[in-house]
Structure 1
Amino acid sequence: MYSIEEFDRQGMHFFRLKGEGAFVEVCPERGGMITAIHIADEDLLYMNEETLFDLDKNVRGGIPVLFPIAGQLRGKQYEWEDRVYQMANHGLARTRPLEVAGQSCGTDHAEITLVFHSTTETRVSYPFDFEMQLTNRLAGGKVTILQKVTNRSAGPMPICPGFHPYFAIRDKALELETAATTYFDYNGHKEKPLTGKLEMAGLKESVIFEGGSVKAAFHATKDLAIEADEHFRYTVVWVEGDAPFVCIEPWVAKNEALNTNEGLILVRPEQPVVLEVNFYLENRS
C-alpha cells in the first residue's frame, strides 16, 4: 500500500510519497520541486540543503521546475508582439510557491498535484493568463512528472519548459546511451561527436544534444533512465566544478527560444498541453 505523509523541516512544509520501499519528497513552497527520490535502494538526487532552506538562493539540488522557459535569454529579455519583456533565467515557477490541488494513493501508486496560476506579477514578465498543473507520481519504482499547461488568454501562448534534475552522479566522465550522435559544446561553441562517453570534468558551461530520453551510468551496477515524451527535443548536461552531481536536463527548446521562435510550443486557448518525464533505475547489462 502506498501512502502520503506531510512533515515540516526548518520552517518549510513537505510531502513524502511512499511505497514498496521507495519514496519521493516534494516541497510546494520551492516551486513544487521534487527534493528527494529514493528508489531501488538508491538516493537519486543531490541536494545542497543550505540553498533549499534559504529563500534568497536558487536551489542547488532536487528537480527544479523550469517554466514557462528553460534556459537563458540574452540580457534576460525577449520580444513578443512588438513589446519587450524581462524574464529571469529558467522562467517563473522555480522561485514561486505552488498550491496543492490534490493528492491520491492506493495499492499501486501515490501522487500529488500542484498548481501555478498567472498573477498580476507574472504578467509583467509573461503577458499571458495560464494554469500549470504539476503532478508528481511514485509507482512501481518509477517517478513520473506530468505537466499540464492551460492557456487562459485569447491568443496562442509560447512555452519551452524543462526540468533541471541534479543527479547524485560523481563521475564526470558520463557514460550515456542516446540516439544522438553529436552534441554542441557551449564552452567552445563547437559541435562534437558523441560516442557514448561525455567528459564533463572542468567544463564551466553546459552541453546539449538532441533527444529528451537518455540512459546514464548511475554507478557501476545501475543505469539511470530518463524517459521524456516527444515534446522534449533536447537534453542539456551541466556540472559545477567538483560538486558531487551531474545535471541531465530534458528541455523542449534551446536557449533564446522566445527570441528565435525555434522549438516553441504554442498553447492554444483552452487546449491544454500535457508533457511527461519518467525517471527510474535499472541494472546495468
Structure 2
Amino acid sequence: MYEITQYKKGGLSFIRLSGEGAYADVCPERGAIVTAFHTLGKDVLFLNEQTLFDRTKNVRGGIPVLFPMGGQLTDGRYEWNGTVYEMANHGLARTRPWTVAGQAADERHAELSVSFFSSKETKQSFPFDFEVVLTYRLEKGRLTIQQLYKNLSSDAMPIYPGFHPYFHIPNKVVNVKTDATQYLDYNDQAIKPFDGTIDMSDLAEAVVFRDRSDEVEAGFDESDRLVIEKDPAFRYIVLWTERDKDYVCIEPWTAKKNEFNERQELLYVKKEQPLQLSVAIYLKKRS
C-alpha cells in the first residue's frame, strides 16, 4: 500500500510519497522542490541541506522547478511588447511557495498536486496571469512529474520551462545515451562532436545537447543506469556540475537559455488551451 505522510524539519514542511520500498519528498514552500527520491535502495538525488534551510539561498540539490524559463537572460532582462522586464536565473517558481492542491494514495501509487499562481509580484517580471499545477506521482519505483501550464491572460503566454535535477553521481565522466551527435559547450561557445561520453571534471559552465528522443539514459553507478523519460517538448538536455561536489545535473529543458531574447523555440500557451507535459525518472539495472 502506498501512503502519504508529512513531517517538519529545519522550519520547513515536507510531504512524503512512499510505497514498495521507494519514496519521494516534496517541499511546497521551497518552490515545490523534490528534496529526495529513493528507489532500489539508493538515494537518487544530491541535496545540500544548508542551502535548503537557508531561505536566502537558491537550493543546491533536489529537483528545482524552472518556470517560466530555464537558464539565464543576457544582463538578466528581456523586452516584451515594448516593456523591459528583469527576471532572475531559472525564473520565478523555484524561490516561491506553492499551494497543495490535492493528494491521493492507493495500493498502486501515491500522488501529490501543487499549484503556483501569478501575483502582482510575479507580473513585475513576467506580465501574464497563469496557474501551474505539478502532480508528483510515485509508482513502481518511478517518479513522474506531470505538468499543467494554464494561461489566464488574453494574449498567448510564452514559456520555456524545465527541471534542474541534481543526481547523486560522483563520477564526472558521464556516459549519456542520447540521439545527439554533438553538443554546445557553454565554456567556449563551441559546438563539439559527441561520442557518448563527456568528462565534466574541469568544466565550470554547462553543456547542452539537442535531443529528439523520448528517453535519455546516463550511468548512475556500477550497477544501475538513470533513465529520464520526457515529453518531446523537452528538446534539450543540459549537463552541469561543480568541482569536488558529488553530483551531476542532467536537466530536461524545452529551450536553451536566453530564449526570451532569442525567440526561436518559445512554447506559446493560449488562453483556455493548457499545455500538458510530463517527465519521469527511475533507475534500472545495467544490462
TM-score by length of 1: 0.99
2:252 maps to which residue?
250
1:113 maps to which residue?
113
Aligned with 2:188: secondary structure? coil
Q: What amino acid does structure 1 have at the position aligned with 2:249?
A: C
2:234 maps to which residue?
232
Q: Deviations over 1:50-108 (max 9, x none)?
A: 00000000000000000000010001100111111111100000000000000000111
Aligned with 2:51: secondary structure? helix
Residues 170-249 of structure 1 aligned to structure 2 (within 5 Å): 170-211=170-211, 213-249=215-251
1:163 maps to which residue?
163
* CA–CA separation in structure 2 for the residues paired with 1:68 and 1:213: 23
Residues 125-140 of structure 1 aligned to structure 2 (within 5 Å): 125-140=125-140
Aligned with 2:30: secondary structure? coil
* CA–CA separation in structure 1 for the residues paired with 2:156 and 2:219: 40
Deviation at 1:33, TM superposition (A): 0.8
Please, which of 270, 281, 284 is the counterpart of residue 283 of structure 2?
A: 281
Residues 34-73 of structure 1 aligned to structure 2 (within 5 Å): 34-73=34-73
* CA–CA separation in structure 2 for the residues paired with 1:52 and 1:155: 36
Deviation at 1:213, TM superposition (A): 3.3
Q: What amino acid does structure 1 have at the position aligned with 2:93?
A: A
2:151 maps to which residue?
151
Q: What amino acid does structure 2 have at the position aligned with 1:151?
A: N
1:261 maps to which residue?
263
Aligned with 1:29: secondary structure? helix
Aligned with 1:259: secondary structure? helix
**Structure 1 residue runs without a partner (length 5+):** none
Moved over 4 A (4+): none
Q: Deviations over 1:264-285 (max 9, x none)?
A: 1000011100110000001111
Aligned with 1:120: secondary structure? coil
1:20 maps to which residue?
20
Deviation at 1:135, TM superposition (A): 0.7
Q: What amino acid does structure 1 have at the position aligned with 2:102?
A: G
Deviation at 1:44, TM superposition (A): 0.2
Q: Deviations over 1:119-166 (max 9, x none)?
A: 000011100000000111100111000110000001100000000000
* CA–CA separation in structure 1 for the residues paired with 2:244 and 2:203: 10
Q: Deviations over 1:226-249 (max 9, x none)?
A: 111111000000001110000000
Q: What amino acid does structure 1 have at the position aligned with 2:263?
A: N
* CA–CA separation in structure 1 for the residues paired with 2:34 and 2:54: 16
**Structure 2 residue runs without a partner (length 5+):** none
* CA–CA separation in structure 1 for the residues paired with 2:176 and 2:72: 25
Q: What amino acid does structure 2 have at the position aligned with 1:84?
A: V
Deviation at 1:115, TM superposition (A): 0.2
How high is the sequence identity, in percent, across the aligned residues? Answer: 52
Q: What amino acid does structure 2 have at the position aligned with 1:31?
A: G
* CA–CA separation in structure 2 for the residues paired with 1:30 and 1:84: 28
* CA–CA separation in structure 2 for the residues paired with 1:15 and 1:255: 31
1:91 maps to which residue?
91
User: How well do the aligned residues superpose, as a CA RMSD in angstroms?
Assistant: 0.7
* CA–CA separation in structure 2 for the residues paired with 1:173 and 1:56: 32
* CA–CA separation in structure 2 for the residues paired with 1:256 and 1:48: 27
* CA–CA separation in structure 2 for the residues paired with 1:275 and 1:71: 19
TM-score by length of 2: 0.98
Q: What amino acid does structure 1 have at the position aligned with 2:282?
A: Y
* CA–CA separation in structure 2 for the residues paired with 1:197 and 1:220: 15
Moved more, 144-153 or 211-220: 211-220
Q: May I ask how many residue pairs the two structures share in their alignment?
A: 285
